[in-house]
Amino acid sequence: MNRRNADEWHQWVEEFAQGESTEAWRGIMCFLRWIQIRADNGHPIPNFLPAIEGDIFHSYLLRRMLQGKEPLTAPPPESYGQPWYELVESGRGTATDVKPWEWAPEQKISINEGIWTIVEKVSDKEYIIMYRLNPGNYRLTKQTDGDTWVIEQII
């Protein structure tokens, strides 16, 4: 499969659709682009359809692209094992399950079961954090109710 950028993928759809079944061709393009992005991020491409069928069905990235949204530059943070697109797109989110990560409590913090890096501990109620390969830092602040935390992207 050829490596294409976003404009080349859109041109691919126009060429192959030739004005007919554009949505179906866009779906196929999204599928192929999804495979390319997965491979670029170290996920092996299964060589038989039954193995990939489950991935296709459960892929939030593929569903996102089928909705006409562009992939993010890096995988989004996770909240309870699911992509937290809203946090990245709005720059703000709420967490209820925040605790030091048991394997490295001074360097890592678990937020809604996703593991974040502590960049700076401002206080017991405020941290500057980052998530894996995502650009930019976030501020994590405990709310006065004592049960919720707010995460806000630092711009």
Cβ contact 128:139 at 8 Å: yes
Q: Sheet containing 92-95: which strands, arranged edge to edge?
A: 92-95, 149-153, 138-142, 126-130, 114-123, 108-111, 98-100
Q: What is the mean pLDDT of the chain?
A: 86
Are residues 140 and 87 located together in one domain of the fold? yes
Q: Which domain holds residue 145?
A: 78-153
Of 18-22, 84-88, 146-150, the range with the lowest mean pLDDT is: 18-22
Per-residue pLDDT band at 51 (split at 50, 70, 90): low
**36 and 83 assigned to the same domain:** no
Q: How many CB atoms lie within 10 A of CB 90?
A: 10
Q: Rounded to whole angstroms, how far apart are CA atoms 63 and 47?
A: 22
Number of separate domains in the chain = 2
Q: What is the pLDDT of residue 14?
A: 80
- Average of per-residue pLDDT across 90-109: 95
Residue 50 reports pLDDT greater than 70 = no
pTM comes to 0.70
Is there a contact between 84 and 77 (Cβ–Cβ < 8 Å)? Answer: yes
